[in-house]
Structure 1
Amino acid sequence: MPYHGAVRVGGPAEVRELAHLMITKVAVGPMDNNAYLLRCRATDEQLLVDAAADAPTLLETVGDRLATVVTTHRHRDHWSALADVVAATGARTAAGRHDAEGIAVPTDLLLDEGGTVRVGQVELTVHHLVGHTPGAVVLVYDDPQGHPHLFTGDCLFPGGPGRTTRPEDFTSLMDGLEAKVFTLPDETWVYPGHGDDTTLGAERPHLAEWRARGW
């Protein structure tokens, strides 16, 4: 069955098979968070994007081996299961440098703009976006045999950017999205922190509308 990216809490995970990477999407917790398990097909090394909630479900998804957990931003609904997942797996933790202080579990690897995170032989590029939080990061996997894949946390959803608390934060987030994210091709698949997936091509026509609508 083809991947569609629509998952619900308590329902089955969705699995996407790429040439070099397996992506498993599962919904967890009272805020319907998405967590993404990435597995390098050459080495079987695994990386989890956002240990958001419901550690038992995440650990069942992960299995017996996990190398890294990346937290996309400091909001608690994206890391409330992090301590339990790390305790059970021994995985190292990674987060944006400017959000690490707001995450209760110590961060082993501080992420900066243009840096990389590896899962086996697969490399993910880090982009730092200021606005939803001071240190939010998004991850890009540029599939050499296909289109890019973008893990956006709460910075971008189907229908627009994530919420901000001040107009200047909204402007900063929009500036970052346009400069660092929407430079990718329309085929780029977007995996957000909540809800269904989208593509940059589906969202790009609405950039001016989002700017005009404001925060």
Structure 2
Amino acid sequence: MTDNEQAITDDQRQRAKLIWDHHQMHHEVRPVDVAIGLGSHDLGVPAFCAELYRAGLFPSLVFSGGSNPTAPERFPRGEAVHFREHALALGVPADAVLLEPSATNTGQNITLSREVLAAAGIMPKTVLLVSMPYMERRAYSTARKVWPEVDVICASAPLEFDDYLKTIGDEQLVVHQLVGDLQRVIEYPRLGFAIEQDVPEDVQAAYGSLIRDGFTSRLLTP
């Protein structure tokens, strides 16, 4: 861990884990008509998509995402393009993968992927959204708002919080992301972007205290 990739305190870790647990929907993964891999900075998403495809859980897969706004250098040709290449390298056949290379937010991930699927003649009734672990709840609440007629299941690589911190290698970055995603879960329904989600009091308290600790880089600007 470098000087720019600093550790968090034990107390911050406990508070962040409360938010981590809340972000996960704990849906039972089952066969669906199609999966959508949501763009991010995390190659765990296409890797898990490939694992679920090989398990026979869906016949078609869309990777969605343009340039990553916070780290464009990570996937210079866009998230979806790099995710597709990673999945193909892991054995997913090219004819099973559709590409949506333009989305810049979660709402666009879902609405533009829906358009890509429709253009391919695929009208799913069940959709699996594969995301980073702390993005599940936001993905679910967004999908229920913009695509309410489908049955949505959310999934992510089955990692414990501490294991995910090690995978990313930058503990503070993960906490900034956790806080930012929870703010979106709270605020987006008021903006018409998502359905309302209950946030327990202990999660709200952890959220507020981490903001006071300075984990604010992913918060929405006024």
Relative to the length of structure 2, the TM-score reads: 0.38
Structure with a larger share of its residues in strand: 1
Max radius of gyration: which structure? 2
Higher RCO by CA contacts (8 Å cutoff, separation 6 or greater): 2
Structure with a larger share of its residues in helix: 2
